[in-house]
Homo-oligomer: A and B are copies of this chain.
């Protein structure tokens, strides 16, 4: 199954589904890799805009997870996350595509 996000400032990732501090740390890591106020030229939409594009590029717009016996083959600790990289909430659209046989 493919998940595809139709935006350039929000992204999809697979990460740990248990300890919420992992998610906090992942956001901290992305903030360090793509900080605000780092001399970006593109800033008309605010200081969070360009970092959001960079974070999307680094994490990706699509996921592909094989399906076996009608279930995603996610590992025990894997969960699917949509990461909103803008400061204010946005409405986001994801396309889900199933390819293969249902037999």
Complex interface: chain B residues within 8 A of A58 (CB): 58-59
Chain A, interface SS category: mixed
What number of copies of this chain does the assembly contain?
3
Closest partner residue, chain B, to A58 (CB atom): B58
Q: Which of chain A's residues 66-102 have a Cβ closer than 8 Å to chain B?
A: 66, 68, 73-78, 93, 95, 97, 99-100
| Cross-chain contact of A16 among B25, B33, B53 (Cβ < 8 A) | B53
> In whole angstroms, how far apart are the Cα atoms of A87 and B23 in the complex?
21
The answer to whether A21 touches B42, judged by C-beta atoms less than 8 angstroms apart, is: yes
Interface contact A25-B8, CB-CB below 8 Å: no
Residues of A participating in the B interface, judged by any CB pair closer than 8 Å: 2, 4-8, 13-16, 19, 21-22, 24-26, 28-29, 32-34, 38-42, 44, 50, 53-54, 56-66, 68, 73-78, 93, 95, 97, 99-100
